[in-house]
Amino acid sequence: MEQSAYLVIDDLTKVYERGQVVALKDVSFSVTKGEFLVIIGLSGSGKSTLLRCINRLIEPTAGTIRLDGVELTKLSASRMREVRRGIGMIFQHFNLVSRSTVLTNVLTGRLGYTSTWRSMAGWFSKEDYHLAMQNLERVGLKEKAYVRADELSGGQQQRVGIARALMQQPNLLLVDEPVSALDPATSSSIMQYFEEINRQDGVTVLTSLHFLSLARRYGSRILALKDGEIVFEGRPNEIDNVRFKEIYGEESEEVEVR
Ligand SMILES: Nc1ncnc2c1ncn2[C@@H]1O[C@H](COP(=O)(O)OP(=O)(O)OP(=O)(O)O)[C@@H](O)[C@H]1O
Ligand SMILES: [Mg+2]
């Protein structure tokens, strides 16, 4: 059976008004359901901009984004909020509320479903609590539920970020440099959660990664950006030394790989 495209991006362009920076230039690619797409490229190449344009946290300047047949770029703000509920996001610096407990942080993943006054009053349903504890158990942090988020290690905080994203029961995960702030061993353990979520739950994953070694190991496909343009799209094992230098520049050695 032919796999139909799940996410289709056409001629996506982002120009930041301030400084007139062209962060993305006519970027086109598509993703099938269940793929694990890794986006690589030097600092400033447009990885974060691309990921954030997809759920319109950043408003694209031009181009179209179609997700599951819905043209996101045309949606009203309120419809976009609804669609965003099905899209989980994971951040490099975890973006937790540091003074809140782990459990509260995870529950906020549910906010899209809860009315504003309820969430402000800290009202979550029994089902929400149950789901939050389940997700914490999944990332091995059930016993930390009532600990303040800032008392956790970086790796543990990122696991909270994953549990929070899972609260949305997402179909798509947008992950921006999830392990850049972590040591190599912790990085692998975090990447394994994404691999599991991708394989077991069938969640489509788009992640930017700094290290080619991780990109090779986890990506089913790799997309490389350079100055806002796609310079490579293909399978991990197609990136040889020549490609590597095209992507990262002539002077770069395999220092990028660890
Ligand atoms: N809010 C902004 N206003 C103006 N320019 C911006 C803004 N955000 C990013 N840029 C510029 O857009 C380009 C792409 O930035 P982006 O953050 O998407 O790159 P990146 O690949 O994620 O980099 P890094 O690896 O450092 O996270 C850069 O030139 C950056 O300076
Ligand atoms: Mg970035």
Is 17 a member of any domain?
A: yes
pLDDT for 240 equals 83
Q: At what angle do helices 154-166 and 126-138 cross, to 10 degrees?
A: 140
Is 27 a member of any domain?
A: yes
What are the strands of the beta sheet with 62-67, ordered from one edge?
Answer: 21-32, 5-16, 62-67, 70-71
Provide the sign of the torsion angle of the four alpha carbons 158, 180, 230, 81, taken in this order. positive
Is 69 a member of any domain?
A: yes
Rounded Cα gap, residues 118 and 128, in angstroms: 13
pLDDT for 256 equals 45
Please name which of 224, 216, 178 lies closest in space to residue 197, comparing C-alpha atoms: 178
Rounded Cα gap, residues 99 and 108, in angstroms: 14
Q: Is the CB of 51 under 6 A from ligand 1?
A: no
Domain extent at residue 238 = 1-86+205-258
Q: Is the CB of 47 under 6 A from ligand 1?
A: yes
Rounded Cα gap, residues 126 and 25, in angstroms: 46
pLDDT for 250 equals 72
The CATH number given to whatever domain includes residue 60 is 3.40.50.300
Domain total for the chain?
1
- pLDDT profile of the chain (258 residues), mean per 10: 82 90 97 97 96 96 96 94 93 92 92 62 83 97 97 97 96 96 94 98 96 93 96 92 83 54
Q: Return the best residue to mutate from 45, 53, 229 for the ligand 1 pocket (most ligand atoms within 8 A of CB).
A: 45
The protein residue with its alpha carbon nearest to ligand 1, atom 7, reads 16
For residue 185, count CB atoms less than 10 angstroms from its CB and return exposed for 0-12, middle for 13-18, buried for 19 or more.
Answer: exposed
pLDDT for 255 equals 47
Residue 42 Cα to ligand 2 middle (Å): 9
Terminus-to-terminus CA distance in the chain, angstroms?
38
Is 65 a member of any domain?
A: yes
Helices then strands, counting H and E runs in the chain, come out as 9, 10
Rounded Cα gap, residues 51 and 34, in angstroms: 17
Rounded Cα gap, residues 232 and 246, in angstroms: 9
Whether residue 246 contacts residue 252, with contact meaning beta carbons closer than 8 Å, is answered with: no
**SS3 per residue for 58-125:** CCCCEEEEEECCEEHHHCCHHHHHHHHCCEEEECCCCCCCCCCEHHHHHHHHHHHHCCHHHHHCCCCC
Is 68 a member of any domain?
A: yes
pLDDT for 248 equals 86
Is 113 a member of any domain?
A: no
pLDDT for 118 equals 59
233, β-bridge pairs: 223
Q: Can you read off the two tokens belonging to residue 176?
A: 């921006």
Whether residue 26 contacts residue 64, with contact meaning beta carbons closer than 8 Å, is answered with: no
Is 198 a member of any domain?
A: no
List own/partner pairs for 104-107 with CB under 8 A and 24 or more apart.
105/149, 105/160, 105/164, 106/132, 106/135, 106/136, 106/160, 106/163, 106/164, 106/167, 107/132, 107/167
Is 249 a member of any domain?
A: yes
Q: Is the CB of 19 under 6 A from ligand 1?
A: yes
